Each structure stands twice: as C-alpha cells, then as structure tokens.
Amino acid sequence: MSSISPGEQIGGDSSLEDIRSRAMAGALKLGVRNVLVRGVGLVGTVVLARLLKPADFGLVALGLSIQLLGNVISSGGLGAELIRREKPPTHTELRCVLGYQLLAAFAIAGLASIPAVVIGGQAGFIALFTFSVPIAVLDTPCRIVLSRSLNWDLIAYSEVAGTLGFNVVAVGLVILGASIWGVAIATIIQAMIVVGLLVAIGPVGLPLPQFSFSTIRPLLRFGLAYQTMVLIDRGRDQAVNILTAAIGGLALLGVWSVAYRIFLSIMVVLEALWQVSFPAMTRMLEAGQDARHMVDRVLRLNGTAFGFPAVAVAGTAPALIPTLFGPHFDAAIPVLPWGAAALLLTGPVVTAGLSFIQAKGDSRGMIHSYLVQTAVWLALGSFLIPIFGAEGVGMAMFVAAIALVITIRRTTQKYVPMDFLSVVWPPITAAAIAAVIGWMIASQVNPSILGLVTSLIASECLYLLILFALRRRDIESLFTTLQMAVRSASPAKMPVPRPSPMKEAV
C-alpha cells in the first residue's frame, strides 16, 4: 500500500511560485498540444468532409460522439479524487481504479455489440467505435500521477501522436474505399498509440487490474460527482447531436458538426486551461493561496486570452466556411458567431469558477451548473432548430452559456465574493466590436481566401487595440504570463523511460 514516490508528486509543502511555474508551463504545453491536435484534426475534417457526403459525415460525427461518451462512462471519475486530495495515491488504489474502469469499458463495448449483431449495417459501424474504449482506459494510472505532479509533457506528446495517427489512417482508408468504416478503425489505432506511449514511457507503466470495493469506496463520493459532471457535459454534446439529427436529419447534423469543429479552435484554449486549473488550484489552496485573488487572476487572464480565438472564428465566418469546407456547407456560417460568443462567456468562467468549485470538492455545485446548461440548450434547441436550422443550435448554445455562467457565479460566491461581469466585460465588449467589423470585411472581400486573411488580421488587431484602451493591465499581464510560461516550459525534452516504484512492484 505504499504511495507513489515523492519525486513524482507535488504537494502542499511546495511553494506557490513553484506551483504557478508548473501550472503555467503545463498550460502552455497543453495549449500547444491542443493547437497541434485541433490543427491536424481540422485538416483531417476538411479532407473527410470533401471525401464524404454530408449524411455520411453526420454518421461519422455520431459515431465519434458515442465513442467519446463511452470513454467518459468507463472512466468512472474515480481518479478525480486521487488528483484532488493531498495524500498521494497508493499502488493498490491505482490498480483498483484501473480494474473498475476496465470492467465498465468492456460492459459498454459488449452492449454496443448487441445491436450490431442483431441489426448489422450502420449499427455495426457505431459499435466498432466503442472497441477503442477498453484500450483507452489503460493509461488512467499514468494520467493520475502525471496530473497530480502538474507534469503534462508526456500526455501532450502522446495525444499529438495519436491524433496524427488517427487522421493519417482515417483519410488513407477512406481514399482506399473503406468509406466511414475506415474512420472507425482509425479510432482504435489512435487509442493504441496514445496508450502505448503513456504506458511505455510513463511513471507507472501498466499495473495489473485489481478489484477491491473497500479501496474504491472512499473515492466514490467526489469521484462519482465529478464523473456525473463530465458525463452531463459530454452527454449534452451528444444529446445536441441526436436532437439535431432527429429534427433536421443527418445532413443538418453534418452542417452543425462542421461548425462545431470550428468551435474546437476556441476549445483548445479551454481544454488546456481547464485541465491545468483543477489540479493547480487544488495544490495552490493547499499551499495557502488566497482564494479570491486566485479566482480573480485566473478569470482576468483567461477572459483576455479567450477573446483572440473567439474573434478569429466569429469575425471571419463568411470567408472561413467556404474557404475550408466549400459552398455546400454555407449553412454553418451564421452558426459561428453564436457559438464563439457562447465560448467567450463560458471559457473564462469554467476555467476559473468551476475549477475552483472542483478544488473545493463542491459536488452539488459541479453537477448543478452543467444540468442547468444542458436543460436550457436542449429545450431551447428543440424549439429553434425547426425554425432556424443549424443556426438555431447556435442560438440555444449561446443562451445556455448565459445560464451556465449565472449558475457557476452563484456557487462560487458561497466561498468568495466575486462579480464575474465586472471582470470579463472589457474582453467581451472588445471582441463583439472586433467581430462585427471582421464579419463586414469577410463578407465584402473576394476571393474568400483573401477575405479570410484580411478579416482575421483586421479583427484581431482591433480587439487588441480596444482591449488595450479598456484594460491595459490585463493585456500586459497576459503577455507577461505567456513569457513566464515559455521560460518555465523550456527546455522541453521528451521524457525517457525510467524505473519507478510502480513498475518495479508490478
């Protein structure tokens, strides 16, 4: 029952400066990881969108959604408590977490195989996506240890490699005639690449699964709450896809999927910051950081940072869609401003407010915030989609974002007196003005590639100038933080295999 060695951990006795340095370096590395992952993914999406019909592309989106949902369910959320708590995990705890996650993963794959055997056809295609789920959970012990120590180097390397492998295999198989089945096979290859790198190079290897309910029981309360929150978050996206397909058909789902792929360019920032914020805030609270100052600082930095990708997406939409995907996806153009505005609202609040709620272990607050957002999005979407089509999904997304921000604000104020609006109104105002000007330029300049470049430069420069006039200190603080993150992350070296207590024990 020994714990992971101190060399693999960072705990409450670490200095605030050390934690900030690790967090900034981690955010930068994961941010670069996400940019590479989404960039490669976007290129693959563009190629697949041109190779497949909108209905086939919608079916692929549905399969990827179900695969992602399976990964979330199989994770169990048990590792979240091991990351949050001050005491490092024991070898037995890591083995038990892996054991129960594998059990859930095989159950999901088995259930998905039933309709594939009975119905065949497209049901078999969907089931094939879930075969990657048992593979994907094998790296869980390594991810827990690396996240606790605020060390995301190997995670970043492995996921970039997995994304490259997926897109090369998916595009290659589709070109060779495998059609949508090639994409399903590529998801299995992707999981094998990611897990292979983390297990081979990571600090804990692949421990033998173990089953002990007495060991898992102390992890269940927060773990299940965290799992429920993530399940609602990811399940909401899949429910939106299903709702869109049910009302408008697979072609409309394909249009929404194209718009959502564009939104991922903003979410690369959100995912990196959120992945770092939860464990970093936990370690900083252990080290005695003032909660109000911490939340305010994260909110200001993230609000300023999120404006740049939001403006890039909303301000260039009339030229962005036809340049990347062709005129048959023009219905996605009016969706982009709504989604960009929604992510500009939720991004800073989620990474600052919700991460703080998670660090405090407020299970009810975590779940309630996403329940409200999901209910508003689905209810409003069911009314707006028949009227506005894909744009109706974006409208519902924006209103649901407002509901999410209000809910997180109320929960956060139980612990720290904060007014989110007074902090984030400058970047929101600057982004709105810059996006409108960029949209006008993108609509008027031809060809679309020239409109895309011109509107992007003009809108980003205008955002920077307006925000500099409204809140100069936040701009200066963001660039100072980026410089510190670069210094903290350099030199970046690929981790090499090394002996560890877990590997020796197993």
Q: What is the pLDDT along the chain (506 residues), one digit of tens a residue?
A: 444 443 444 444 456 566 655 555 555 555 566 666 666 766 777 777 677 766 676 777 777 766 766 666 655 567 777 877 778 888 888 999 898 888 888 887 788 777 666 665 666 677 777 888 888 888 888 888 887 877 777 887 888 888 888 888 888 888 887 777 888 888 889 889 989 999 998 888 888 888 888 888 888 777 777 778 877 877 788 788 888 888 888 788 888 888 887 887 677 666 666 667 777 777 777 766 677 777 777 778 878 888 888 999 999 999 998 888 877 788 889 999 999 999 888 888 888 888 888 777 777 888 888 899 999 999 999 999 999 988 999 999 999 999 999 998 888 888 887 777 778 888 999 999 999 999 999 999 988 899 999 999 999 999 999 998 988 888 887 777 766 666 655 544 444 444 444 443 33
Torsion 339-342-348-349 (CA) sign: negative
Q: What's the angle, vertex CA 330, arms to CA 325 and CA 336, rounded to 5?
A: 90
To the nearest 10 degrees (0 to 180), the angle between helices 54-75 and 16-51 is: 150
- Give the closest residue to 79 by CA, choosing from 103, 62, 96: 96
- Give the closest residue to 23 by CA, choosing from 201, 289, 202: 289
Whole-Å CA distances, 112 to 192, 237, 238, 426: 20, 19, 16, 48
Whole-Å CA distances, 174 to 179, 183, 184, 312, 480: 4, 7, 10, 31, 45
Q: Which residue(s) pair with 90 in the sheet?
A: 3
- Per-residue exposure over 82-112, b if at least 16 CB sit within 10 Å of its own CB, e if not: bbbbeebbebebbbbbbbbbbbbbeebbeeb
